[in-house]
């Protein structure tokens, strides 16, 4: 029989050390509360715990009484670099290999589907103006954004002012580079002074944050024209936001996947020339796959996250979603770099060259995952064959870890719950549109019961994973993989390795499929060199969803 003291300890453990329900409601009613945490204490040990738990509760309450904005980072900063490895900082001049001439189409509506690298040449040669291009995209946004449910705020007035300025500068010979005058959109978790930043979630509709994200500032410096803030799955999960479900432009019965839902959908439908998205665990790869975009998830720390909604302080990454991998390179070069306002950023070179010989690249592939049975297997096998036709030697790569990688994911969950602690405690999470068991509201609640000890031990396992993955892959410039093969998506989001995902065909429902290319930390240049050659030899990035062609 339990003593009164024992019941008090059980209650405090339940409230402070965290369990979801009382054990009288479980199928193990006789087990003590600590068994939830895979622990076993004696009755004397439980009695001794009581005063400690009371102290912890006071600490929790003190923290809760202090306002912590989402923008306040952790004091601990994740560094993805393996022990003894440093990123090169020797930047060489970039040889983009842009086309010398691009013809203007007879039907200017076709410009909506031109890649950035072609639009850039047209603007620089003054065959089109930024203003005309901006008006074209604004018109398409007004016509199609509701169909796709992909836009939150269309920034027409400020966009036309930026476009006019770009035209004036170009006319005077002040050309800022390949993005000058190019209209684009951003995922609405990035701040822009004077606009709402809703994070796609009902509790944050109308939210105004008085700053502009570093990425947006860098694109402004590059002369790009911001025309729209695009949808995201609420608080960066999925494609469900407070206004509905963002659609796949190839099949309006499907969501666009997420959480960079609007960024992928709008880009592929020709509503923007490119878009900025974010990834914590698949939020660039997944919507790029569903919609047929070319997406770049950069190395963790390559792009500043200042001004972006924090979900996971040690896993969030910002990158472009475009019509081609080459476009991704042009955008990445503009947004990358060290930023004092984001302590996770590192200075590193991006030595892309259009003249990189493919035979110089050492390319591996995860044979075991290609050999498995999965829905896009035929398209992936065709990709491997196409690469071989380009003269690429594909070297089988075997990697199988004993580390419980899936368990390390609790770091993301705990950090996300901390990012939205006040939302959970205030019960405003009940305002969220998606209340399914695995959606954020319930996930945040459950994550309150992850012990700090387990979070720290998961971090230690992650350190081992970084070393192990580096040792297994360090001899390769690029690794080809099924986009959702094995554990690679979770693994490389934990290790911080970059990924380029591109379309490689269609499934039996008429929606795109994708293939992914991984690289060394800060090895974006090598990946894009290979993928650009692959895309120039194939047709998939040129495909246009017929519903959005006039």
Query: Is the alpha carbon torsion for 349, 354, 359, 362 positive or negative?
Result: positive
> Nearest to residue 309, comparing CAs of 266, 281, 343, 277?
277
- Cis upstream peptide for 322 (omega within 30°): no
The two beta strands, 183-187 and 225-230, are: parallel
Annotated active-site residue 24? The verdict is no
Contacts of 171 (CB under 8 A, 6+ apart): 126
Contacts of 56 (CB under 8 A, 6+ apart): 16, 17
Q: Catalytic pick from 257, 259, 286, 419?
A: 259
CA distance 366 to 399: 8
User: Rounded CA gap, 35 and 81, in Å?
Assistant: 37
Verify whether residue 283 is a known catalytic residue.
yes
Helix axes 156-171, 116-124, angle to 10 degrees: 50
Give the CA distances from residue 418 to residues 70, 378, 414, 482, in Å, rounded to whole numbers and listed in that order.
Answer: 9, 42, 6, 32
Q: And the tokens for 178?
A: 């390949």
* Helix, strand, coil distribution of the chain in percent, nearest 5: 45, 15, 45
Choosing from 118, 120, 130, 187, the catalytic residue is 187
Find all residues with CB under 8 Å of 172, minimum gap 6, and list them.
Answer: none
CB 306 within 8 A of CB 214: yes
363 CB-near residues (< 8 Å, 6+ apart): 387, 392, 393, 394, 395, 476, 477, 478, 479, 480, 530
Residue 271 CB contacts under 8 Å (≥ 6 apart), including other chains:
112, 137, 140, 141, 144, 145, 148, 150, 151, 185, 228
Evaluate whether 423 touches 438 at the Cβ level (below 8 Å): no
Which one of the listed residues 283, 304, 314, 419 is annotated catalytic?
283
Catalytic residue check, 130? no
- Closest-CA residue to 325 (of 504, 510, 109): 504
The DSSP letter of residue 14 is I
Task: Find all residues with CB under 8 Å of 358, minimum gap 6, and list them.
Answer: 390, 391, 392, 529, 530, 533
* Angle, CA of 375, 378 and 384, to the nearest 5°: 125
- Catalytically annotated residues: 187, 259, 283
């Amino acid at each position: 029989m339990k003593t009164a003291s024992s019941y008090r300890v059980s209650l405090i453990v339940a409230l402070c050390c965290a369990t979801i329900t009382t054990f009288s409601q479980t199928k193990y009613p006789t087990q003590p509360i600590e068994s939830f945490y895979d622990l076993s204490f004696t009755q004397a040990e439980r009695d001794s715990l009581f005063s400690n738990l009371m102290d912890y509760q006071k600490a929790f309450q003190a923290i809760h009484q202090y306002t912590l904005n989402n923008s306040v980072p952790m004091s601990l900063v994740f560094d993805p670099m393996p022990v003894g490895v440093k990123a090169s900082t020797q930047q060489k001049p970039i040889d983009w290999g842009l086309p010398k001439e691009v013809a203007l189409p007879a039907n200017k509506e076709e410009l909506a589907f031109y890649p950035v690298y072609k639009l850039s040449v047209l603007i620089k040669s003054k065959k089109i103006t930024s203003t005309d291009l901006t008006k074209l995209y604004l018109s398409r946004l007004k016509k199609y954004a509701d169909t796709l449910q992909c836009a939150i705020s269309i920034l027409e007035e400020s966009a036309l002012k930026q476009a006019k300025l770009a035209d004036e500068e170009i006319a005077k010979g002040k050309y800022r580079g390949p993005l000058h005058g190019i209209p684009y959109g951003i995922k609405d978790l990035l701040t822009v002074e004077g606009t709402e930043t809703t994070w796609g979630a009902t509790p944050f509709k109308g939210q105004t944050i008085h700053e502009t994200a570093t990425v947006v500032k860098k694109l402004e410096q590059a002369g790009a024209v911001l025309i729209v803030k695009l949808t995201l799955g609420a608080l960066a999960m999925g494609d469900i936001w407070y206004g509905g479900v963002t659609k796949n432009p190839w099949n309006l019965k499907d969501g666009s996947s997420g959480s960079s839902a609007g960024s992928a959908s709008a880009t592929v439908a020709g509503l923007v020339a490119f878009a900025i998205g974010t990834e914590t665990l698949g939020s660039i790869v997944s919507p790029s796959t569903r919609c047929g975009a070319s997406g770049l998830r950069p190395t963790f720390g390559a792009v500043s996250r200042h001004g972006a909604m924090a979900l996971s302080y040690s896993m969030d990454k910002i990158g472009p979603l475009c019509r081609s991998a080459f476009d991704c390179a042009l955008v990445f070069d503009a947004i990358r770099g060290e930023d004092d306002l984001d302590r996770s950023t590192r200075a590193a070179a991006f030595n892309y060259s259009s003249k990189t010989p493919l035979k110089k690249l050492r390319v591996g592939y995860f044979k075991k995952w290609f050999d498995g049975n999965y829905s896009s297997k035929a398209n992936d096998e065709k990709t491997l064959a196409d690469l071989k036709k380009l003269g690429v030697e594909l070297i089988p790569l075997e990697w199988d870890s004993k580390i419980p990688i899936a368990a390390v994911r609790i770091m993301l969950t705990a950090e996300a719950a901390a990012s939205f602690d006040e939302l959970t405690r205030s019960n405003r999470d009940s305002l969220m549109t998606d209340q399914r068991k695995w959606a954020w509201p319930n996930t945040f609640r459950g994550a309150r019961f992850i012990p700090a000890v387990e979070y720290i031990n998961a971090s230690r396992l992650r350190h081992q994973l970084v070393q192990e993955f580096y040792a297994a892959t360090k001899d390769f410039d690029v690794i080809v993989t099924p986009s959702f093969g094995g554990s690679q998506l979770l693994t490389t989001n934990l290790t911080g390795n970059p990924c380029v995902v591109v379309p490689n065909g269609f499934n039996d429902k008429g929606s795109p499929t994708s293939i992914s290319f991984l690289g060394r930390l800060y090895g974006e240049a090598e990946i894009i060199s290979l993928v650009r050659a692959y895309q120039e030899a194939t047709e998939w990035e040129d495909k246009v969803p017929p519903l959005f062609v006039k």
